[in-house]
Each structure stands twice: as structure tokens, then as C-alpha cells.
């Protein structure tokens, strides 16, 4: 049976100083979320492996996640943070690439006050340095950043990119355009894959419906195709609106009409290929 991979989750020891983005609107997240917590969720949802993704912009957290991945075999890979735009990035990258479970880096572009941060020369020099390492770069943006993201991707045609959370469209308002057209444009770049994750948190947490998510799912499946998509939970952030197992069951229902090969790619094959995973039997 093909391995099922949660391509996007987080882990943290909560403190208000280090996780200031977890504010009073999401108080259920103001606690620790550990590998043991994740393992219990994965068992219930029949998920075989997982990719841990940074939640704060510090090298300390990146190394903490790598240590947890070494201690817990079901954490197959880590997407960490490093100072990509910094003068000391080369030194950081040299140390990080010695870590066997590091498979990608991410910067929280969506939180940058500069709407064009992703186009800055210093940031792009850092992305150029990623290419020889084979590391993936994950693009975390809001839908309004898609024009800049397309320009950014075009500047690095050989780099592998993964778009997080389908670029966070305005699901809560039920607005499709211009997100839909821009996603279709971005998807024409074959070096870009996309994570189907983080959708419920962009919807009305208490009143969302599967029918309300369907136009957004339809868009990314048509644009990227199942074999350039991967499923992710965005746990524990997803818990503000949907349970871990419930999210994967929703995706199973949505993909029920796909071929066996397409479902296998979406549920784990694409993630395994993109992140070069070694998933234990």
C-alpha cells in the first residue's frame, strides 16, 4: 500500500514571546504540541509519515525540529528557516546541509511589511545559493502576493518550489478571482508544486462547508494536476476549524474519483519524490 504523508505540520513548545502570532483569537493553540501528540493523530488518521515545517523564524527552532526528527522516525523531513537574505546565509547553509533530514527552507513572506520582499536582490541571492544543495524552497504568501511570486519563480527556473496552503485565497468571503487566474498562471511553471493545506483556517472557522471549499480544490487540482499536489494538515493550526483526521477524510472524499495512481501521488507519492523521503515500512 502506498505511504500516506502529511506534508505539512508544526511542533512547538509554546511561549507567548516566541510565538507572538498565536494571539487571543486562537487561544486553543497556546499550548505545547509535541511529537507524541502528532503520533496519536497520525495513528487515528492512518498517516505513515510527516514533514515538520518551521513556525518561527529562528535557526534555534530549525535545529530543534531536526533533533525531534532524529528522535522520531515518523517525522521524515524538516522544512526549516535560515537567514536567506542575510550576509551569513552561506555559513548557515553549510551547517544545515550536513543535517540529513533537512529537505527545505521557508521564510514567512506573508508577514513581511514589504509587499515585494520576495523580489529583493539579497533574498534572491540566497535562493540562488539553494540550487546546488537540492533543498526545496517553500513559498508562504497570501493571494495578493501571487504576482510577485510568479516573477520570483521565473527568476529561478531550475529551483524546486512548493506553494504552501494554495496561496491562502479569500475563502471566508467566497472570492475566487483573481486568485484562480493567478494560480493557473503559476501552475504553468513545472518546477512548482502545491500543498493542499491550510484551507479551513482561511474559511469561516465555525461555519465553513465542504461545498464552500470545493471551488478552491477544483481550481488547484485542475491547475496543477494531482501529481503536483500533496496533502498536508497544517496541524495544529488547523484545529481552530477542523480536526486532523476529519481534514484527511475530507480530502479522501474529494479525491475518490481519481485514478489509483493519482490518489497515490497526492496522498504521499509527490511529497516523497519532492522531499526525497525515506519512509520506513
The residue extents of the domains of the chain are 5-274
Spatial strand order of the sheet with 49-53 comes to 5-9, 49-53, 75-80, 102-107, 136-139, 161-163, 192-196, 229-231
pTM flag (> 0.75): yes
CATH of domain 5-274: 3.20.20.140
Q: Assess contact for 229 and 264: CB atoms under 8 A.
A: no
Per-residue model confidence (pLDDT) at position 221: 98
Confidence at residue 151, expressed as pLDDT on a 0 to 100 scale: 98
Instruction: List the chain residues with pLDDT less than 50.
Output: 280-281
Cβ-based neighbours of 58, under 8 Å, separated by 6 or more: 18, 81
What is the predicted pLDDT for the residue at 279?
Answer: 57
Residue 281's pLDDT is: 42
pLDDT at res. 1: 54
Q: How many CB atoms lie within 10 A of CB 159?
A: 17
pLDDT of residue 273: 97
Amino acid at each position: 500500500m502506498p505511504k500516506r504523508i502529511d506534508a505539512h505540520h508544526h511542533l512547538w513548545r509554546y511561549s507567548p514571546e516566541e510565538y507572538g502570532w498565536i494571539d487571543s483569537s486562537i487561544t486553543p493553540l497556546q499550548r505545547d504540541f509535541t511529537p507524541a501528540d502528532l503520533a496519536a493523530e497520525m495513528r487515528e488518521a492512518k498517516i505513515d509519515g510527516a514533514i515538520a515545517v518551521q513556525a518561527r523564524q529562528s535557526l534555534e527552532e530549525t535545529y530543534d525540529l531536526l533533533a525531534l526528527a532524529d528522535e522520531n522516525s515518523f517525522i521524515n523531513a524538516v522544512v526549516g528557516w535560515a537567514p536567506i537574505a542575510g550576509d551569513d546565509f552561506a555559513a548557515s547553509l553549510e551547517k544545515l546541509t550536513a543535517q540529513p533530514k533537512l529537505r527545505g527552507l521557508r521564510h514567512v513572506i506573508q508577514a513581511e511589511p514589504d509587499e515585494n520582499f520576495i523580489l529583493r536582490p539579497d533574498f534572491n541571492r540566497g535562493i540562488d545559493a539553494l540550487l546546488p544543495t537540492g533543498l526545496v524552497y517553500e513559498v508562504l504568501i497570501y493571494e495578493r502576493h501571487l504576482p510577485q511570486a510568479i516573477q520570483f519563480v521565473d527568476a529561478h527556473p531550475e529551483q524546486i518550489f512548493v506553494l504552501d496552503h494554495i496561496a491562502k485565497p479569500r475563502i471566508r468571503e467566497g472570492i475566487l478571482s483573481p486568485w484562480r487566474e493567478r494560480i493557473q498562471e503559476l501552475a504553468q511553471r513545472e518546477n512548482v508544486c502545491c500543498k493542499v493545506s491550510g484551507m479551513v483556517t482561511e474559511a469561516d472557522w465555525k461555519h465553513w462547508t465542504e461545498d464552500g471549499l470545493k471551488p478552491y480544490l477544483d481550481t488547484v487540482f485542475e491547475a496543477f494536476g494531482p501529481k503536483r499536489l500533496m496533502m498536508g494538515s497544517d496541524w495544529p493550526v488547523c484545529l481552530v476549524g477542523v480536526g486532523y483526521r476529519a481534514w484527511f477524510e475530507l480530502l479522501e472524499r474529494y479525491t475518490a474519483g481519481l485514478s489509483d495512481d493519482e490518489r497515490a501521488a497526492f496522498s504521499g507519492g509527490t511529497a516523497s519524490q519532492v522531499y526525497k523521503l525515506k519512509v520506513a515500512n
